[in-house]
Every structure is written in C-alpha cells, then in structure tokens.
Structure 1
Amino acid sequence: MPKSISNSRYQIREKIFTISNNLKIKDQFGHHKYTVRSKPWTLDRKLTFEDTNGNALLKIQQKGFHLLDQFSILSARDGDLNQQLASIRQKFTVFKHSYKVYSIYGEYKLKGFDIFDRSFALTNKNGKTIAVVRKKMFAITGIYEVEIINSNNDKTQEDHAFILALIIALHCSLYCL
C-alpha cells in the first residue's frame, strides 16, 4: 500500500516598518523554518535565505539595473558557494506580469490566477503544478500562503527552500521598492 504524501504548507510574513526586507517563514504548524534577510540602504537587492540556526542556504540577488527585473538564486552552502541555481527574468507584457525561470531543476512558469498577481501557480515546463501561492488581501503586513505540492517520487520532489526562494524573488520583483 503506497504511503500518503500530503502537501507542505508555509506562511511567508514580511515585517512592516523596517528599512530592509526581512521575512519570516513558518510551516503549517507555526514552527519557524527560515528567515530571509536583506541589507538596508543598498541600491541593489541582495537577500540571504537562512535556516533556523542562521546558516545561509541561498542568496537572492537582483542583476544590475535593467528595464525588466532579473534575479539570480545562488547557493550559499559550503562546497558549492555562489553556484547559480536559477535565473529569473521578467518578460515584457502589457497587462500581466510574466517571468521565465531557468534553474538546475528545470524551467518554471508562473500561471496567474488573478489580474492583481495576488495568487499564482508555479509550474514546471511539463505543466505540473509545483506550488500554489496566495497573498492575503486584507493583511497589514505582506503575508503569503504557499502550498508546495509533494510527490511520492523522491527524485522529482522539489527542494522546498529553493521553491520558497523563487517565490520571494518574485515577491521582490512585484512589491519591493
């Protein structure tokens, strides 16, 4: 009998009234899982994705000054420090935001559910949904509910920290100053 795999849920909460973009990520049980820190007063966006012990796992960096946003996700782990894991590029569109994501895990696309980009699905190039993201409408702070679709096959199970970093890079492209 195959074991039942449930989807993983996370809540990304942005701190308000801060100079930098600091985010806290909790799991569905309310346990702190990750912290994302940025340096205040910098012209470019550089964020560090850390585990609960403060160990850097990933870096999210904006690539220079472009008309359309471009981000890189780099490894911050010893042994493969600064290895590029993903490149995120905003595509030119008139009414909706559109992005191309190239990564070591494959290509990803965003499928928007609404005109205001408050909810979207992250899909792989085969159209399989990897994660569903919903931004709470009437919250004082920026709060995202993220559901990562888990798989029975360990080889296709996505790295949750990586998926969350992708979502944060997209958040920065849409909402960060």
Structure 2
Amino acid sequence: MATAQSETKRYLIEEKYLSLDNRFTITDDSGNIHYKGNSIFFAIGDKLVLTDENGNEVIRIRQENFHIRPTYRLYSARLDGTERQIALIKRTGPLRQHKLEISSDNGEYILQKQGGVSSKEFTLINDDNTIALITKDASPTKSFYWVDIKDNKENHSFILASVIVLACVERSPSGHILMPR
C-alpha cells in the first residue's frame, strides 16, 4: 500500500532574474527538466509561455493590465495554435500577504503565504484540502520555489503555472509588473 509521502511529487522552479529568454526552469527532484517558462518581450505586463521538455506549448500566462490588483489569466495551448482559458488568478488581501484567488476549470483554489511577513512558505488549497506546499529560497540572481504536489491526480502544469504567477506577483512591491525581467 502506498503512503501519502510516496504520492507527493517534488518540483523545483528556478526563476532567473537576468535571463533574456528562459526565465523559469522546472525540474523534478532528480534534476530532469519538465517545463520551461519563456518571456514574450516588449509586452506591457507579464506574458509567459510554459513549454514541456520537448518545447511544446502547454500553458500561456497573461497578466491583464489596468486592474487595481494584479490579475492573470492562464490559457491552455492547443496544437492548432488556439488557446482556451483555464483559470483566472487575482491577488487579494493586504499587499504583503500575497494571497491569490484562483478560479479554474478544476474549481476554486487559494494560494497564500503561511506565517508572518518574512515567511517563505505558501500553500495551495482546494476545498479545504492542501494540494501543494511551496517554499521559496532566493539568491541575488535567482529565486527558487520548491513545490511539493501532494496528489498526483492534480494537473501539475496548472499548479506550476500558478506558482509562476506567485513569483511574478512577489517580484514587485506593488505587485504590478510593467516589463518582463
């Protein structure tokens, strides 16, 4: 019989501050690359494409402009080049709380910081169930997000894209991003 620990899948999201193209690399705990997050340049707001290890588009992340609070939409990329919205993500609560409300095809989620202002731990919750635990670690040139997804029935690319939105919101004190880094 499998234990709850054996069902947990760990990913590492590495955000490179000074990279011109590949801003996010997502690996498993063995170092195998699963996804990459690439910026679209000269765009107002964050625009990223999450690709799988073969370079196929999986999810598109778009920041909406002209909102009081940061607002993002996630789109599922299709082989024919069309996209379908799969989630709307909005930052709510006090500025430093970094609480994200996620309305998706799979239900309602909350991604929020645990502990005080200096805490580096977050949880992703759906229907009072913790879906993922996220821990942030940063250096002068990179941020790292350890993502432990507790249930392999969940859509991992969707969860990882939601953590990328968290990284985008955290980058700026106001939460607004004008140009990709």
Counterpart CA distance in 1 for 2:137 and 2:129 is 24
Bigger mean CA deviation after superposition, 129-138 or 113-122: 113-122
Match for residue 40 of structure 1? Answer: 41
User: In the alignment, which residue of structure 2 is the partner of 1:118?
Assistant: 120
Which structure 2 residues correspond to residues 126-145 of structure 1 after superposition, within 5 A? 126-138=127-139, 140-145=141-146
User: Which structure has more RCO (C-alpha within 8 Å, separation ≥ 6)?
Assistant: 2
Worse overlay, 15-24 or 26-35: 15-24
SS of match in other structure, 2:168: helix
| C-alpha contact 1:37 1:47 (8 A) present in aligned 2 | yes
Pairs aligned (count): 170
- Give me the whole-angstrom Cα distance separating, in 2, the residues matched to 1:119 and 1:77: 33
Which residue matches 1:148? Answer: 149
Q: Cα RMSD between the aligned structures?
A: 2.1
The equivalent residue for 2:161 is 165
Which amino acid in the other structure matches residue 96 of structure 1?
Q
What is the identity percentage for the equivalent residue pairs of Structure 1 and Structure 2? 31
> Structure 1 residues 162, 14: closer, same or farther in 2, change over 3 A?
same
Q: Which residue is 2:89 aligned to?
A: 88
The answer as to 2:176 corresponding to 1:175 is no
Determine the structure 1 residue equivalent to 2:54: 53
Asked if the contact 1:25–1:35 (Cα under 8 Å) also holds between the matched residues in 2, the reply is: yes
**Superposed CA offset, 1:57-112 (max 9, x none):** 00000112212000000000236932111000112426522221100111001242
More strand by share: 2
The structure-2 alpha-carbon separation of the partners of 1:106 and 1:17, relative to structure 1 and needing over 3 Å to count, comes to same
Give SS of 1:161's match.
helix
Q: TM-score, normalised by structure 2?
A: 0.84
Residue 14 of structure 1: how far off its partner (Å): 1.3
Q: How many Å separate the matches in 2 of 1:74 and 1:12? A: 20
Equivalent position amino acid for 1:41 in 2: F
Does the CA contact (< 8 Å) of 2:63 and 2:70 recur in 1? yes
